[in-house]
Structures are given as structure tokens and as C-alpha cells.
Amino acid sequence: MIALLKRDLALAVRAGGGFGLALAFFLIVVTLTPFAVGPNSATLSVIAAGILWLGALLSCLLSLDRILALDFEDGSLELLATAPIPLEGVAATKAVAHWLTTGLPLTLVAPALGVLLNLPEGGYLWLTLSLAIGTPALSVIGTFGAALTVGLKRGGLLLSLIVLPLYVPTLIFGAEVARRGAEGMSLDTPLAILAGITLATIALLPFASAAAIRINLR
């Protein structure tokens, strides 16, 4: 599994479809927001947490179709399905590789982009923490969506339609943690729910992803 993780990380870096494209899209979303809503600092401060979370979520979508599609096209996925490694472990490793090349860089760069949106000082820590807790769920859910559509031609649109509704709870509570942290409010409930969502997806969806891959390889 470690060798598979290293391989996926190397492919993501060489292809440039991982963190490079996601970070560029994230930067574009944050940069264009003041042009759309106006340069009023008070307005930007109110919506900053939500915009940053929405930008991170949409950036994760860009590389979801690459999680399994390339392996399916060159036959590697069939070899992995017959390898001694459990297919659930393969799905989990794919999700980890996606998070390391997409979710983690977005989490690290988000505070810097928060300056452009006048994010309140108290919100930087909680924005970073909420993304660190929530983005793994985005990668695991995205891997599940990729497994469902791996055998379909031009399945990118269908993948987005499947994944986006599943992303909504993570978006709601992740943005709420960042917003409440910026305003100095209690964080116990949204933070616990966000962590619960992530832990539930990590515990359950690799098995669902493995089942979907087996069906598509028949």
C-alpha cells in the first residue's frame, strides 16, 4: 500500500492535475470574489469563511476523475483488484493520495488567501482546523464517486452530480466552524459533527468504493 501511495503521489505531481490545478482554481475563485460582491471590507469579512470553504470544495472536484480513471484505462485497476492488497485498502490509499495532493495544499494555502477576503483574525486558526478535519471527507467521498463512474465514458459530469450532494454536510459544518471561530462563538457542536462526518466516511466509504469497483470491473 505504501508503494501504491508513492506511485499515486508521483503521478499526481508529474501530471500536474493534482495540487497545481486545484491551487490555481482556488486562487482564481478567491481573487474574483471581491469583483463580484464589491470591495467592501465588512461584506467580505462576513462571507470570507464560506467563500474559502466553497472554493476548496470546488477545487477538490477538479481532480476527482483522475483518481481511478487512469488506472482503469491502462489496466492497472484490474491488476490491483487481483493483487494481495484488499480492494478496500486500494480505495483508501487512493483517497489518501488525493488528500495529500489536493486537500492538504488547499488547507495550507487557505489562511494566506483569507487575507484577500479580510477574514477576521480569530478565524485563521479555525479555518485551517476545519479544512484539516473536513477535506479528508471530501477526498474519501470523491473516491467513492470515482469508483461509481470509473467505467463510464465522459463520466466527469455524472461524478460531479453524484458527489456534490454528498459534499453539502461537510461544507455546511466546515464553514460554520470557520465562521463561529472568526466571531468567537461556541464551536463544540459544528466541530463535533464535522469530525463525525469525516470519521464516518473514512470508516464506511472505502468498502462502498471497493464494491463499486468490483461491479464496474465485471
Three-state SS for the chain is CHHHHHHHHHHHHHHCCCHHHHHHHHHHHHHHHHHHHCCCHHHHHHHHHHHHHHHHHHHHHCCHHHCCHHHHHHCHHHHHHHCCCCHHHHHHHHHHHHHHHHHHHHHHHHHHHHHHHCCCCCHHHHHHHHHHHHHHHHHHHHHHHHHHHCCCCCCHHHHHHHHHHHHHHHHHHHHHHHHHHHHCCCCHHHHHHHHHHHHHHHHHHHHHHHHHHHHHHC
Q: What is the mean pLDDT of residues 62-82?
A: 78
What proportion of the chain, given as a percentage, has pLDDT over 90? 45
The confidence band for 67, taking pLDDT boundaries of 50, 70 and 90, is confident
Q: What is the mean pLDDT of residues 79-84?
A: 77
**For the segment 87-100, what is each residue's pLDDT rounded down to a tens digit?**
898 899 999 989 99
Q: What is the pLDDT of residue 69?
A: 77
Q: What is the pLDDT of residue 155?
A: 66
Q: What is the pLDDT of residue 126?
A: 94
19 has pLDDT over 80: no
31 has pLDDT over 70: yes
Is the pTM of the predicted complex or chain greater than 0.75? yes
Q: What is the pLDDT of residue 15?
A: 59
**For the segment 38-51, what is each residue's pLDDT rounded down to a tens digit?**
888 888 888 999 99
The confidence band for 127, taking pLDDT boundaries of 50, 70 and 90, is very high
Cβ 131 vs Cβ 44: under 8 Å: no
* Domain spans in the chain, listed from the N-terminal domain onward: 2-217
The confidence band for 81, taking pLDDT boundaries of 50, 70 and 90, is confident
